[in-house]
Amino acid sequence: MHEFSLAIEVINLAGREVEKRGTRKIHEITIEVGDLSGVEADAFESALGLLVRDSILDQAHVKILRTPGTGNCLSCQSDFEMSHRMATCPVCSCFPSEIRGGTEFRVVSLVVD
Q: Does 2-112 carry CATH code 3.30.2320.80?
A: yes
pLDDT, mean of residues 47-58: 94
Say if residue 3's pLDDT is above 80: yes
Alpha carbon distance 33, 102 (integer Å): 8
Edge-first strand order for the sheet with 98-101 is 79-82, 69-72, 98-101
Say if residue 79's pLDDT is above 70: yes
pLDDT, mean of residues 95-113: 92
Helices then strands, each counted (H, E), the chain? 2, 6
Tens of pLDDT, residue by residue over 14-32, are: 999 999 988 888 999 999 9
Local confidence band at 1 (pLDDT 50, 70, 90 cut-offs): low
Local confidence band at 84 (pLDDT 50, 70, 90 cut-offs): confident
